Structure 1
Amino acid sequence: MDERRRVGRARVLKTGRIAVSEKAPKIECAVRNISDAGACLQVHSGTFGIPREFDLVMEGGLRHPCRVVWRTESRLGVSFG
């Protein structure tokens, strides 16, 4: 498979939370790789029902607005911005 990313990603294993709205419960996820442009998220409860746009809240309160680029049953590829 050809690499289509503009920026390479670093492998990591960090805890994150998907924030759909301020009032909705946050969805736990694991950040599998990350760059300045995006990330791969593993969602243990499954990706069904997660909207195309949301905020990723990472350890230390770092928050990234995300747009889903691809999805499988348990993973999301997102771009930041």
Structure 2
Amino acid sequence: MIEKRTAQRHRVFKGGTITYENSGIACTVRNMSASGAAIDLDAAVPLPQSLTLSITRDNFVKNCRTVWRSDRRVGLAFVH
């Protein structure tokens, strides 16, 4: 398999929230890098291309774009 990531990812298990269009959905952040993250959702829900990922306990807030999806796991790229 060819690695396409530009930054090394690190496994994490943190509660987060994705927000878009005045909606918020709880998620679990499974891994993160300087350029993006993979999250798990409780249910397969439609998501927009652009959203915000927040991890309250880390004071972390990043604007993101959806880059891939597999059932309830979503890959996000941070928008700089």
| TM-score (normalised: structure 2) | 0.89
* Deviant stretches of 4+, over 3 Å: none
Partner residue, 2:42: 44
The CA RMSD measured in Å over matched residues stands at 1.1
Q: Structure 1 regions of 5+ residues with no counterpart?
A: none
Q: Structure 2 regions of 5+ residues with no counterpart?
A: none
- Residue 69 (structure 1) shift: 0.7
Q: Counting strand residues as a fraction of each chain, which structure ranks higher?
A: 2
Partner residue, 1:32: 30
- Residue 49 (structure 1) shift: 1.3
Q: Contact conserved, 1:14 with 1:59, CA < 8 A, in 2?
A: no
Partner residue, 1:57: 54
